């Protein structure tokens, strides 16, 4: 089989996500035969460095031997059982471990990030309803924020290309200014701009808190906004405002959790604990779909009652799947055994050093938080993402820009030599597309 053979079959049979299918006539999907570590291999003998970690999910490389072994062992015991009325050791062990890591408990499981957002929004609304405050049923999110594409999640997403078509289906929510430091005025520091945006949030809650159930945000990095990065003080002040006005704070750590920002969870950098934390993507190391929402004792106890209707009656068929939970446990064990966060700090330093020549090229806002890097290309033409993607493939890289933003967040197992190679190839591609 060749790349072309599989690509043709895929165009006929598979409706690809985030894709105008007509574009696949001239830019066919990349046909991947196998993968190992940071590398993807196609059917024609080419390899590509997976610089986006398989859409931000893969933490410890493809075909990781420790995660593979854990899954193979789990297959010999239990693959899945319904979690309504049943339980199993992997889901209990994972819930206990996530509680220790987040400072929250009572893990409720879904299948993907958007499901986690839906769970958190519904749970917050239902909490206030159980408290007799059913008027608190609206939500606040950040401008340019992204929280998923199901109807409830899309209602708090502020990315026009995803949201506008479905606007008639969505419940109205409010957006407050994003603390993205690229939006700061000339001479205004990222911290000062974050403080100004936090004041705007506080002002909004002061006026509308009686109808607001929760504020939902992506801590430190807004992914689909073009890897918009902001100062941790915003999180601290947002937590204080939510406390002041009796509004829940939902931390969407779906993309930024599990070490991506340099700490296990981004909220740690502000020293705060949210009322809800949404987790997915890296949770299983990129192996299987799984998401979780953890919350406080106060929220949990508000649902604990003799009346069924006061319970949280939400479910997914594969909730708490045993195989996915085992993959998650194996992933968390790697964090513990390999001192990953410390090792990542050294990788971060090396990558930043290797990228220094990039600053001599026509780019704007070079930025880095933990294991996430990004820069913007000013005055990029409309076809820039496609052109850059094609050139990246030609140079052995899988990179998909977000508009005029080039970003990369490779798996944590990337070696020093691979870091140098990745930086060198990104610089070569940039020279190709800008000269």
393: domain CATH number is 3.90.1150.10
- Statement to judge: residues 273 and 301 lie in one domain: yes
The last residue of one of the domains, among 337, 369, 386, is 337
- Statement to judge: residues 79 and 189 lie in one domain: yes
Q: CB under 8 Å to 169, separation ≥6 — which residues? A: 151, 154
Tally of domains within the chain = 2
pLDDT score recorded for residue 410: 98
- Statement to judge: residues 89 and 236 lie in one domain: yes
**Alpha-carbon Rg of the chain, whole angstroms?**
22
- Statement to judge: residues 257 and 399 lie in one domain: no
Burial label for 215, CB within 10 Å (0-12, 13-18, 19+), is buried
* Closest by Cα among 23, 26, 37, 38 to 398: 38
For 185, the domain range is 67-337
Q: Given a cut of 90, is residue 246 above it in pLDDT? A: yes
For Cα atoms 236, 240, 243, give the angle at the middle one, nearest 5 degrees. 140
Contact 209, 247 (CB under 8 A): yes
- Statement to judge: residues 45 and 116 lie in one domain: no
The last residue of one of the domains, among 299, 314, 337, is 337
Residue 347: inside a domain, yes or no?
yes
Q: What confidence tens digit (pLDDT) does each residue in 184-231 have?
A: 999 999 999 999 999 999 999 999 999 999 999 999 999 999 999 999
Residue 18: inside a domain, yes or no?
no
Residue 432 CB neighbour total at 10 angstroms? 15
Contact 297, 251 (CB under 8 A): no
Q: What confidence tens digit (pLDDT) does each residue in 343-381 have?
A: 999 999 999 999 999 999 999 999 999 999 999 999 999
pLDDT score recorded for residue 29: 95
Contact 394, 433 (CB under 8 A): no
pLDDT score recorded for residue 6: 95
- Statement to judge: residues 217 and 348 lie in one domain: no
Give one word for 398, left, alpha or beta, with left for phi > 0 and alpha for psi -120 to 50. beta
> Which residues partner with 93 through β-bridges?
none
The last residue of one of the domains, among 309, 337, 365, is 337
- Statement to judge: residues 99 and 118 lie in one domain: yes
Residue 9: inside a domain, yes or no?
no
- Statement to judge: residues 90 and 116 lie in one domain: yes
- Statement to judge: residues 132 and 212 lie in one domain: yes
Average pLDDT in the 288-306 region?
A: 98
Residue 304: inside a domain, yes or no?
yes
Q: Given a cut of 90, is residue 36 above it in pLDDT? A: yes
Q: Model pTM?
A: 0.98
- Statement to judge: residues 395 and 291 lie in one domain: no
Question: How would residue 94 be classed by pLDDT, with cut points 50, 70 and 90?
Answer: very high
* Closest by Cα among 225, 235, 273, 281 to 110: 281
Residue 343: inside a domain, yes or no?
yes
- Statement to judge: residues 36 and 123 lie in one domain: no
pLDDT score recorded for residue 435: 79
Residue 53: inside a domain, yes or no?
yes
Residue 113: inside a domain, yes or no?
yes
The CATH number of the domain where 202 resides is what? 3.40.640.10
Residue 84: inside a domain, yes or no?
yes
- Statement to judge: residues 411 and 382 lie in one domain: yes
Q: Given a cut of 90, is residue 63 above it in pLDDT? A: yes
pLDDT score recorded for residue 298: 98
pLDDT score recorded for residue 38: 98
Question: How would residue 49 be classed by pLDDT, with cut points 50, 70 and 90?
Answer: very high
Give one word for 251, left, alpha or beta, with left for phi > 0 and alpha for psi -120 to 50. beta
138-142 sheet: strands from edge to edge: 105-110, 291-295, 276-279, 248-252, 212-217, 138-142, 174-176
Residue 303 CB neighbour total at 10 angstroms? 17
> What are the C-alpha distances in Å from 233 to residues 151, 214, 222?
31, 19, 15
Question: How would residue 315 be classed by pLDDT, with cut points 50, 70 and 90?
Answer: very high
Q: Given a cut of 90, is residue 1 above it in pLDDT? A: no
pLDDT score recorded for residue 369: 98
């Amino acid at each position: 089989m060749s790349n072309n053979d599989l690509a043709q079959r895929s165009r006929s049979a598979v409706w690809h996500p985030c894709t105008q299918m007509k574009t696949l006539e001239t830019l066919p999907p990349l046909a991947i035969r196998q993968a190992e570590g940071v590398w993807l291999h196609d059917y024609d003998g080419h390899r590509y460095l997976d610089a986006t970690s398989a859409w931000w999910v893969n933490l410890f490389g493809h075909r990781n031997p420790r995660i593979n072994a854990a899954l193979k062992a789990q297959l010999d015991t239990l693959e899945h059982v319904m979690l309504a009325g049943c339980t199993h050791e992997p889901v209990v062990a994972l819930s206990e471990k996530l509680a220790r890591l987040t400072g929250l408990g009572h893990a409720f499981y879904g299948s993907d990030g958007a499901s986690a957002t839906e769970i958190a929004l519904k749970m917050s609304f239902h909490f206030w309803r159980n408290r007799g405050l059913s008027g608190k049923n609206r939500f606040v999110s950040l401008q340019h924020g992204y929280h998923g594409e199901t109807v409830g999640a899309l209602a708090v997403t502020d990315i026009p290309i995803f949201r506008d078509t479905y606007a008639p289906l969505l419940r109205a929510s409010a957006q407050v200014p994003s603390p993205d430091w690229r939006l700061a005025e000339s001479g205004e520091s990222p911290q000062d701009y974050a403080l100004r945006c936090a004041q705007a949030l506080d002002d909004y809650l002061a006026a509308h808190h009686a109808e607001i159930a929760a504020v939902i945000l992506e801590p430190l990095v807004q992914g689909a906004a073009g890897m918009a990065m902001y100062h941790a003080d915003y999180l601290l002040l947002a937590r204080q405002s939510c406390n002041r006005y009796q509004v829940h704070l939902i931390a969407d750590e779906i993309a930024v959790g599990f070490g991506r920002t340099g700490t296990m969870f981004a909220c740690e950098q502000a020293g705060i604990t949210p009322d809800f934390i949404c987790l997915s993507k890296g949770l299983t190391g990129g192996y299987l779909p799984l998401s979780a929402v953890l919350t406080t004792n106060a929220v949990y106890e508000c649902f604990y009652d003799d009346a069924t209707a006061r319970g949280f009656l939400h479910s997914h068929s594969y909730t708490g799947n045993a195989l996915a939970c085992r993959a998650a446990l194996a992933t968390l064990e790697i964090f513990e055994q390999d001192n990953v966060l410390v090792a990542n700090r050294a990788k971060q330093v090396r990558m930043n050093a290797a990228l220094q020549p990039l600053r001599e090229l026509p780019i704007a806002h070079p930025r880095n938080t933990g294991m996430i890097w990004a820069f913007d290309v000013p005055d990029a033409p409309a076809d820039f993402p496609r052109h850059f993607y094609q050139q990246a493939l030609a140079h052995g890289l899988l990179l998909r820009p977000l508009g005029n933003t080039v970003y990369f967040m490779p798996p944590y197992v990337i070696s020093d030599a691979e870091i140098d190679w990745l930086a060198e190839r990104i610089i070569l591609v940039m020279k190709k597309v800008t000269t």
